[in-house]
Amino acid sequence: AQSVTQPDIHITVSEGASLELRCNYSYGATPYLFWYVQSPGQGLQLLLKYFSGDTLVQGIKGFEAEFKRSQSSFNLRKPSVHWSDAAEYFCAEQGAQKLVFGQGTRLTINP
């Protein structure tokens, strides 16, 4: 069955430090992959997406993600986090019928 795995449930980083959130997908030779951010009590906002082409995709708010087919991964990165980046982050993959989400990674920022 199609699945998206985010191995880290909770990550804490210091403000200004770099960030990498991991995501592994399981479906399709040509996956459609997404990263979303959710602030508490809010809906989801799309950070970036990958359909094809350049494996390094740029998103909003200074985020980027790299698609690595050999590792079935689509990790999200940011060189320097800000306190406002504290939120829940979801990786997702478009399946044949529906969007499948990972379990989410909660990001906490230390001042």
Nearer to another protein, 7 or 16 (CB): 7
Beta strand ranges found along the chain (DSSP E): 4-5, 10-14, 19-21, 24-25, 32-38, 44-50, 56-58, 64-68, 73-78, 87-94, 99-101, 105-110
Position 99 contacts another protein (CB under 8 A): yes
Site for another protein in 50-89 (CB under 8 A): none
SS3 99: strand
Q: Which stretch binds another protein (CB under 8 A): 17-25, 63-71, 73-81, 94-102?
A: 94-102
Query: Interface residues with another protein (CB under 8 A)?
Result: 36, 41-46, 49, 90, 97-99, 101-104, 106
